[in-house]
Amino acid sequence: MNRRQFLRRTAAALAFSALPSYAVEFGDLKKRVGLIGCGWYGKVDLLRLIQVAPVEVVSLCDVDTTMLNDAADLVAARQLSKKKPRTYLDYRAMLKEKDLDLVLIATPDHWHALPMIEACKAGADIYCQKPTGVDVVECQAMLAAARKYQRVVQIGTQRRSTPHLIEARDRVIKEGKLGTIARVEICCYYHMRASGNPPDTTPPANLDFEMWTGPAPLRPYNQWVHPRGWRAFMEYSNGIVGDMCVHMFDMVRWMMNLGWPKTISSDGGILVDKASKANISDTQNVTFDFGELQVIWSHRTWGDAPDPKYPWAAIFYGDKGTLKAGVNGYDFYPAGKTEATLRGEPLFEYDKYPEDKTEKDLERHVASAVRGHMRDLLANVATRGRPVADIEEGCISSASCILANVAMQLGRTLKWDAARGQVVDDAEANRLLRRAYRAPWVHPEPGQV
């Protein structure tokens, strides 16, 4: 090495060592990043990405100008360059620049498919929040776009990157401590369904409600819709099954290496809180039948949880033991034992990421999982591989949950043909795989992306 090379490399090493500790893991991956949807989890995802890689956030998009500008100030304060990102009110204008390496999508569910497909066409790799689409055909079109344009796509089902759940999979399930598993119960008993009947009002001046609604039916505006209350309405979501079941169902599929269920059945509805403006179910049961294994979902937004330690969880029943696993830990009980012999807890990394302690609205016990998900995405961007929550895995979990709602609506069991992407011998169910889009928006089709 000559003197010039030595000085250049020494200077580079010193500059790299001067980077904050939260941005040295992917020092050679200086990607240009854009975020579509600058609300709660959009910022959670983006700030975790900034923690693990020296990316440059160059573009932000949101239909709420207050939220958009606040996010721009926050990003400027947190990213290495301290530069303020460009801001856009329309994702199409942002993607038209075609200068982004990575796009994060954290909009309400009804706005996942169209921006994701356009980001594929713009040549970006993608991190998209769950569920993939709000109907089954959207999910299929998103997968088709990712494959056609050869994009790396990670879906935000970050249980697959949760340190203590990886440990539970490896130490309990993979080592065969449960024996034969024939039943897994997944559940959510959080009182998270909006209650009440707030009046409809005029949208606030900072919100473009027409664009916010996009392809969904145009409901009257009320305070629940924005921000964060939109999950109260099936027009924008798939209720608690699409929000909470998808995480636990996806976790079970990942831990047990499962594909599509063979049949899906569901019952429930609005059984208790009939006065609320919310139109999502307050009670629902779903059976995802894989043949020799049943995965059974239950949610109630009222009453007590059977196990207060695991109100949102998966319980794996084997002939040699039981595993309880959720976001706050896991416990393994050998058959016949009342005391857990293996336990795990969430990983908090305040020593590496002290900003986690003070960040507004951060689910601190989940932060390490989101970081792990971002690391996995970046590693696969570099190799052009398939991330742990690849778009195909996200589509299977998301579409299965959507089919659960279709099964409840029709009141019958659906038999799924994964190869054809249709319900077997059920024309009415197949019509419900595609929601009507509000003009002028056009529903994406798998063969036309």
Q: What is the mean pLDDT of residues 283-304?
A: 98
Percent of the chain beyond pLDDT 70?
94
Task: Tokens 């009342």: give the residue.
Answer: 338
Q: Are residues 14 and 115 in the same domain?
A: yes
Average pLDDT over residues 338-367: 97
User: Within this chain, do residues 168 and 294 fall inside the same structural domain, yes or no?
Assistant: yes
Report if residue 363 sits inside a domain.
no
Q: Give the per-residue pLDDT at 29.
A: 65
Beta strands at 86-88 and 56-61: parallel, antiparallel or unpaired: parallel
Residues 83 and 217 placed together within one structural domain of the fold: no
Average pLDDT over residues 158-175: 98
Q: How many domains does the chain have?
A: 2
**Which of the listed residues 107, 141, 159 is the one where a domain comes to its end?**
159
226 located within any domain: yes
Task: Give the pLDDT confidence score for residue 11 in this predicted structure.
Answer: 39
Same domain, 291 and 281: yes
The Cα 144–Cα 380 span in angstroms is: 19
Average pLDDT over residues 301-330: 98
In a domain, 364, yes or no: no
Q: Quick one: pLDDT band at residue 301, thresholds 50, 70, 90? A: very high
H-run or E-run covering 314 = strand 312-318
pLDDT at 8 exceeding the cut of 70: no
Q: Are residues 314 and 432 in the same domain?
A: yes
**Span 255-273, average pLDDT:** 98
pLDDT computed for residue 27 by the predictor: 60
Structural tokens at position 285? 């049961």
Q: What is the pLDDT of residue 30?
A: 84
Same structural domain for residues 122 and 258?
no
Q: Are 76 and 85 in contact (CB under 8 A)?
A: yes
pLDDT of residue 421: 98
Within a domain: 380: no
Res. 20 pLDDT band, cuts 50 70 90: very low
194: pLDDT strictly greater than 80? yes
| 288 lies in the same domain as 412 | yes
Domain that holds residue 42: 7-159
Determine the pLDDT at residue 28.
64
Residues 103 and 36: their CA atoms lie apart, in Å, by 7
Residue 139: what pLDDT? 98
- Regarding whether 168 and 21 lie in a shared domain, the answer is no
pLDDT range class, residue 311, cuts 50, 70, 90: very high
pLDDT at 10 over 60: no
Q: pLDDT of 369-423, one tens digit each? A: 999 999 999 999 999 999 999 999 999 999 999 999 999 999 999 999 999 999 9
User: Does 154 share its domain with 169?
Assistant: no
Q: What is the C-alpha separation between 73 and 82, in angstroms, rounded?
A: 9
Does the pLDDT at position 130 exceed 60? Answer: yes
Chain mean pLDDT for the chain: 94
Among 159, 190, 207, the domain-final residue is: 159
Question: Is residue 258 within 8 Å of residue 248, measured between CB atoms?
Answer: no
Domain boundary (159, 186, 204) is at 159
- Residue 400 sits in a domain whose CATH number is 3.30.360.10
- Mean pLDDT, residues 102-115: 98
Do residue 138 and residue 78 come from a single domain? yes
Q: Is residue 317 part of a domain?
A: yes
Percent of residues in the chain assigned helix, strand, coil, to nearest 5: 35, 20, 45
Residue 387 falls inside a structural domain? no
Please compute the mean of the pLDDT values over residues 21-25 and round it to a whole number: 51
Query: pLDDT grade, residue 26 (50/70/90)?
Result: low
- Tokens 């038209």: give the residue: 96
Is 218 found in the same domain as 155?
A: no
Return the pLDDT at 293: 98
Residue 383 located in a structural domain: no
426 and 320 share one domain: yes
Least confident of 1-5, 173-177, 421-425, 428-432: 1-5
